[in-house]
Structure 1
Amino acid sequence: MPNQAAGPRVLLKRLRELMAEALEPQERLDRIVREIAKQMVAEVCSLYVLRSDSVLELYATEGLNPGSVHLAQLRLGQGLVGTIAASARALNLTDAQRHPAFAYLPETGEEIYNSFLGVPVLRAGRTLGVLTVQNRTMRQYREDEVEALETTAMVIAEMIATGDLNRLTRPGLELDLTRPASFAGLSFNEGVGLGHVVLHEPRVVVTNLFNEDSDEELGRLNEALGSLRLSIDDMLSRRDVAFEGEHRAVLEAYRMFAHDRGWVRRLEEAVRNGLTAEAAVEKVQSDMRARMQHMTDPYMRERMSDFDDLANRLLRQLLGRTGDGLGEALPRDAIVVARSMGAAELLDYPRDRLRGLVLEDGSITSHVVIVARAMSIPVAGQVKGVVSMAENGDAIIVDGEEGQVHLRPQPDIEAAFTEKVRFRARRQELYRETRGEPSVSRDGVSVDLLMNAGLAVDLPQLAESGAAGIGLFRTELQFMVAATFPRAEAQERLYRDVLDAAKEKPVTFRTIDIGGDKVLPYFKGAVNEENPALGWRAIRLTLDRPGFLRTQMRALLKAAGGRELRVMLPMVTEVDEILRAKDLIDREVRHLSRFAHHLPNRVKLGAMLEVPSLMWQLEELMSAVDFVSVGSNDLFQFITATDRGSALLSDRFDPLSPPFLRVLKQIVEAGAKADTPVTLCGEMASRPLSAMALIGVGFRSISMSPAAIGPVKAMLRELPVADLEVCMNGLLQRPNAKHSLRADLHAFAAAHDVPLVPL
């Protein structure tokens, strides 16, 4: 009998020799199962491969009837083999036939065998097949034998993943690696994208599986682990990481995982069994992911991503790789798939090749989503599991309207979405034809349709969309995509470019809105807060750090020389904040005047109404500013006490509810009474139905994403505003009002032939 301790190493050595020989795929598999049976003193060794129709097909065997190869089949979940594939867990049985899942396949002749050991063939947590050994005698397979079989299964997984077995596949019965998969997520930006997967942080593909010197590989592994732990300790020791709070707890947990002795022991054991350090990381990561995916505890399932990230960092350190994703040539129809990413990282991809974005995490207000929306890229978020299932180059469809993702779609699905894209393109062409038409309702009411922007990439869309101007220019995006604070000269250059692109159209610049959840990594003054949306951000931060506001205002004033400058303050809570900001702005005007700079011919100062406390200061607010802009996203969040990034609450409350619409109507009426213009910027303005509701409560200026202007204008030009106002007044005055007026508004649109088709 082979030496028990040397078993896995001897088996791996023989496998390495077999992999190096020039063999046909079937012959290679036959010799692999023969070698496994020999080394493990097993009378049977069999390999089952999972097909795309969820059937496990016998691909090779030593000991069973050879005529059953490619004929014997088990459904996923059927029999011992199907149970292993469904659970991604090994089975080690002394009397297999007494197990409740045992299924007899007469064509294999396996009824005479008792002991059974089966392990899943795993790659990146995905089950690609099952590898088994069997004996007539009743015995419990040793732990080192289980480890040897699992390690061998990893080698076979690479054979499957690289397509070596495709020639053995019958037409119409593709392997599971190519199986279509659909995922349900959330819609973060509308649109449909067809293309091919580009993994933002692609898994490191381990090609060197077998080690020549275990001691040397253990040294490499320990050195890489040491570097990994040092990098985490460095994160925890930085001054910009708070010493209290949830963020600190997350990093401490992260450090705990990196020091986890169980994890490290499994890595070292895999190396001692003959794998390279990187192959050991790949194997342990894949085993752990497969097991944790089947846990019902949501906390433990979330920890899976922490281990994934640690393992990927460790792999990159072992292989000396950084920034794999962007160095590769992109397809012309790239759809970026990522767990999460920053706004600056998305801008690193060539815009003309991007067709969509898929995120496992994030929220509709994530910085990267804001940038993607500005680039008119469809985005699906909270798409759990898509990263581990996707491979670079896979065909993929992103349905940004429904938040769904179709990976390796079947031809009929692809054809349906291709037609949907063509239809959207035809509709967009119709919208472009009307971009020069006035935004006037059927009964002659004019409404300004403005666009939201924040980066230089947005500027061409001002002319393309037919927008009446820029109702919200988010100046903080320039800060968020930069590696360091943008110098005053860079800010001035951007603001001047924006005003030049707008020509005579108005542009409203929102002063920098950072802090809270909009963290700038280079801002050492940032603090960790339990409720960042309610914390030290926007005007609160810039009044405490007036250098921010003064530098930005100086750049804006110089860029707008000889033109009108419109500036608004975000997150205003009380009118006194506006007065304090005015003093700072006046100081900059006096400073520039002293040095004879060319100043704007007029400066208009406005405020964002997004904090509910201003509802009890409306009269003072309207008299303190030149205009007001309602930030519907935050105002709705604060009024309903709803975290708008929460997937659990995303559909709980409706902005088209009577209470919120009454609030908006009250703001419009206060503005009309004081003769102060009121605009609304936010997601509500970007959809024809909710834009119709805004017009119905009195808004005559709304700002939205550039892609939304065509559909909203199409709605407006067929809208009888007077009839809508009468209808909405009745609905808002109705007692015991419904949770939402959405159905009533749809009924009104249908009755008056008002188109409500989004882009």
Structure 2
Amino acid sequence: MSLWLSGIGVSRGIAIARVQKLHGGDLEIAEYTVAPEELEREIERFRDAQQQALAQLREVRSKIPAGTPGDIAAFIDTHLLMLDDRSLVDSTVANIRSAGINAEAALRRSRDALVAVFEQMEDPYLRTRRDDVEHVVSRVQRVLTRTERELPGGQVPLTEPTVIVADDITPADIILLSQQAVLAFVTEYGGPLSHTAILARSLGIPAVVGLHNARRLLRENELVIVDGEHGHVLADPDDKALEHYRRKQDQQAQDRRLLQTLRDKPAISGDGVEVRLQANIELPEDAAVATANGAAGIGLYRTEFLYMNRKGLPTEEEQYQAYSRVVSAVRGPITIRTLDLGADKQVDSGQRQGPTPNNPALGLRAIRLCLKEPELFRVQMRALLRASAHGQVRIMLPMISSLSELRQAKALMATCRAELIREGRVVADRIPVGAMIEVPAAAISSSLLAREVDFFSIGTNDLIQYTLAIDRVDDEVNYLYDPLHPAVLRLIHMTIEAGHKAGIEVSMCGEMAGDACYTRLLLGLGLTDFSMHPANVLEVKRAVREAQVGELRRRVADIMQAASLDDFASLLAAL
């Protein structure tokens, strides 16, 4: 009898194969007292385990094929940095000495302290990086306890098509398994921003996450169908279901081949409206992937990774070198977002003073943190201004909510520019400055903000959760996360209209921009500048080329005037 299960679809595609479970969930770690004369030996045991774990990850890193997208190797690099981070190592050694306990228990205490920091982060993407801590610590714990995580196939690579079912999967395991006959991943935990989700999308492997009790409900070697777009898993399917999904597989394969023919074609609608499709990236290596997928530039370059997984702040020179590499590699404009972290992240190599905020998402973060810590902002701004000499740099300020924030940031930028010129440094003659619209207050006052900036970029991820008062990575309320809520669409439309009236560019860099399901709606709202994950560019380009923008704008205007929620929903469904 067939069993239908639903989780969160995070990587599109359909896979039909038999289940192999990834064994080895949470380890049971005992805590016991170590005699004083044995403490140094216990510390040495911990250091040996740490070095073995580093060697394991370096081996995985060496097996990543050439030409693989940069974000895949970046996950392993992040874990290598964490494993060698002095804060993790020193705190564990300190716990062994001060508490007189075994290495496993001391490491667990260090993990708990680090996870608590990440749990308080306001940014959903950064908060999910607590998984990095869990995976790194688990790898060392398994060396200490001599309990290696069992991969399907063991030392013999998988040769039969397989769907991996696990509680969670580390980046290292995903990379190793992706080089075998693994067709899909199903995990009990995780969300759209989890490791499994991000890596599966980069590797083009269907994945469903957040499917609770999957390891209990699905049997070893059972035939399953995984629909990574809709989040469905069908166990023990009948012939009719198999035939249906095999047809869908064939259609998707043909669809992917057709998409590749669009790579060098312009993003122009059927009625002649030109649309710019750019890419979101995080690492210099991602710029090549964006170009290969036909992106017209970089609409969002995140700079947070320069600050994470390290004890000290990145220097001006270090930042300049990183920015220069990506600016030089990009053909066309590149929009670089200034630091978007919260004060709960220890970017100053020290302990944050004061109590932990009750609502970190509403606290000291992004531009607020940069203006409160001007030296932090000044170092980054000088590096960005210097990098502007190598290409078409645009600087974007995150979480703007008022004119005063904009003016303070622009004043600091002007001061840094004057300093660099006095020092004989080369700086571009003109560097456009823009604001991210991700706070409802910014959208509502967008007509005022538009007078102070050269462009807007709508960050829908935060705009939606702030507007609807929900945390999109919280399993209890993320069902309320609705990009099509009338309030959200009105704020987006208001921002686009304000930008157009002021004669400035308006782009969108949130997840809505990269989902072809929303392309027609966004075109109808007046958006002509999209930025997204490089893998989504071709699909959105197709939707643009098939659209009649003039007709869409007339229909969307009717939708925005709908007298009731029922009318709004029915008109939207018919778009």
> Do the two structures share a fold, i.e. TM-score over 0.5?
yes
Task: Say whether the 8 Å CA contact 2:187–2:210 is kept in structure 1.
Answer: yes
Taking the aligned partners of 1:481 and 1:395, their CA distance within structure 2 comes to: 41
CA distance in 1, matches of 2:22, 2:416: 43
Partner in structure 1 of residue 498 of structure 2 = 670
Structure 2 counterpart of 1:320: 146
After superposition, the CA RMSD in angstroms is: 4.5
For residues 637-690 of structure 1, give each alpha carbon's deviation from its aligned partner in whole angstroms, at most 9, with x where no partner exists: 111112212334434363223332222221111111111111112122222331
The residue aligned with 1:577 is 405
Q: Deviations over 1:578-614 (max 9, x none)?
A: 2222233334333433443332343111110111112
Distance of aligned partners of 1:341 and 1:483 in 2 relative to their CA distance in 1, 3 Å threshold: farther
C-alpha spacing 1:408/1:518, structure 2 compared with 1 (3 Å) = farther
The correspondence of residues 302-451 of structure 1 with structure 2, limited to 5 A, is 316=142, 319-321=145-147, 339-340=167-168, 356-366=184-194, 369-370=197-198, 373=201, 376-387=204-215, 398-405=226-233, 417=245, 419-451=247-279
Give 1:514's aligned residue. Answer: 341
Letter in 2 for 1:635: L
Q: Give 1:186's aligned residue.
A: 8
- In structure 2, the residue corresponding to 1:424 is in which secondary structure? helix
Question: Residues 438 and 200 from structure 1, CA distance in 2 versus in 1: closer, same or farther, beyond 3 angstroms?
Answer: same
How far apart in 2 are the matches of 1:413 and 1:484?
55
Instruction: Decide whether the 8 Å contact of 1:363 with 1:646 is kept in 2.
Output: no
**CA separation in 1, counterparts of 2:236 and 2:311?**
36
Secondary structure at the aligned position of 2:457 is classed as strand
CA contact (8 A) 1:359 1:382 kept: yes
Of stretches 662-671 and 324-333 in structure 1, the one that deviates more from structure 2 is: 324-333
Pick from 691, 714, 736 the counterpart of residue 519 of structure 2.
Answer: 691
Which region of structure 1 is more displaced relative to structure 2, 688-697 or 332-341? 332-341
Partner of 2:58: none
Question: CA–CA distance in 2 between the matches of 1:198 and 1:486?
Answer: 43
2:289 pairs with one of 458, 461, 475: 461
Deviation of the 1:457 alpha carbon? 5.0
* Structure 1 residue 635: Cα displacement: 0.8
Within a 5 Å distance, the mapping from 1:554-569 to structure 2 comes to 554-569=382-397
Whether the 8 Å contact between 2:327 and 2:334 is mirrored in structure 1 is: yes
Partner in structure 2 of residue 755 of structure 1: none
> Which secondary structure does the structure 2 equivalent of 1:603 belong to?
coil
Aligned partner of 1:231 among 76, 84, 107: 107
- Displacement of 1:365: 3.9
Q: Which has the higher contact order (CA 8 A, sep 6+)?
A: 2
For the Cα contact (< 8 Å) 1:184–1:383, is it kept in 2?
Answer: yes
State the match for 2:367 in structure 1: 539
Contact persistence 1:374–1:453 (CA under 8 A): no
Asked if residue 702 in structure 1 is aligned to residue 530 in structure 2, the reply is yes
Counterparts of 1:193 and 1:517 in 2: how far apart (Å)?
Answer: 41
Deviation of 1:624 (Å): 1.4
Q: Tell me which residue corresponds to 2:460.
A: 632
In structure 2, the gaps of 5 or more residues are 29-99, 121-133
Q: Which residue of 2 aligns with 1:747?
A: 574
TM superposition shift of 1:568: 0.5
Q: How far does residue 382 in structure 1 lie from its aligned partner after superposition?
A: 0.9
Kept after mapping to 1: 8 A contact 2:443/2:492: no
Distance in 1 (CA, whole Å) between partners of 2:211 and 2:457 is 33
TM-score relative to the length of structure 2: 0.71
Q: How does 1:292-307 map to 2 (within 5 A)?
A: none
Q: Is the 8 A contact 1:375 1:458 kept in 2?
A: no
Aligned to 1:615: 443
- Which residue in 2 is equivalent to 1:162? none
Letter in 2 for 1:535: G
- CA distance, structure 2, for counterparts of residue 335 and residue 547 of structure 1: 50
Secondary structure of 2:541's counterpart equals: helix
Q: CA deviation at 1:181?
A: 7.1
What is the CA distance between 1:696 and its match in structure 2? 0.6
What is the distance in 2 between the residues matched to 1:205 and 1:528? 30
1:43-82 CA distance string (max 9 Å, x none)? xxxxxxxxxx8xxxxxxxxxxxxxxxxxxxxxxxxxxxxx
Q: Per the alignment, do residues 501 and 396 of structure 1 end up closer, same or farther by CA in structure 2, a change over 3 Å counting?
A: farther
Moved more, 407-416 or 586-595: 407-416
Q: Is the 8 A contact 1:185 1:404 kept in 2?
A: yes
SS at match of 1:690: helix
1:728 Cα deviation from its structure 2 partner: 1.5
Mapped contact 2:446–2:494 kept (Cα < 8 A): no
C-alpha distance after superposition, 1:454-483 (max 9, x if no partner): 234533332332222221222224545778
Distance 1:738 1:686 in 2: 27
Change (3 A) 1:406 1:452: farther
Q: Tell me by how many angstroms 1:366 deviates.
A: 4.4
Q: How far has the Cα of 1:191 moved from its partner?
A: 3.3
1:732 to 2:554 alignment: no
Does the aligned pair in 2 maintain the 1:562–1:601 contact within 8 Å? no
| Partner Cα distance (1:393, 1:597) in 2 | 64
The Cα of 1:401 is off from its aligned counterpart by: 0.6
- Residue in structure 1 matched with residue 66 of structure 2 by the alignment: none
Residues 41-120 of structure 1 correspond to what in structure 2 (within 5 A)? none
Q: Secondary structure at the match of 2:9?
A: strand
Contact 2:559 2:572 in 1 (8 A): no
Deviation at 1:405, TM superposition (A): 3.9
Task: Return the alpha-carbon distance in structure 2 between the equivalents of residues 460 and 395 of structure 1.
Answer: 38
User: Offset at 1:623?
Assistant: 1.4
3-state SS, counterpart of residue 565 of structure 2: coil
Overall identity of the aligned pairs, in %: 31
**SS class of match (2:336):** strand
- The separation in 1 between residues aligned to 2:309 and 2:163, in whole angstroms, is 20
Q: Give the direction of change, closer, same or farther, for the CA distance of 1:501–1:619 in structure 2 (3 Å limit).
A: same
**What is the distance in 1 between the residues matched to 2:212 and 2:240?**
24
Per-residue Cα deviation, 1:87-134 (whole angstroms, up to 9, x for no partner): xxxxxxxxxxxxxxxxxxxxxxxxxxxxxxxxxxxxxxxxxxxxxxxx
May I ask how many residue pairs the two structures share in their alignment?
489
Checking the alignment, whether the CA contact within 8 Å between 1:200 and 1:337 is kept in structure 2 is yes
Deviation at 1:393, TM superposition (A): 9.5
C-alpha distance in 2 between matches for 1:404 and 1:516? 39
The answer (yes or no) to whether the contact 1:562–1:598 under 8 Å persists in 2 is no
Q: Distance in 2 between matches of 1:468 and 1:455?
A: 17
Structure (1 or 2) with the larger CA radius of gyration: 1
> SS of 2:458's equivalent?
strand
CA distance in 2, matches of 1:405, 1:483: 43
Call closer, same or farther: CA 1:196–1:501 in 2, change over 3 Å.
Answer: farther
Paired AA for residue 734 in structure 1: A
Letter in 2 for 1:704: M
Q: TM-score, normalised to structure 1's length? A: 0.55
Partners of 2:309 and 2:223 in 1: CA distance: 29
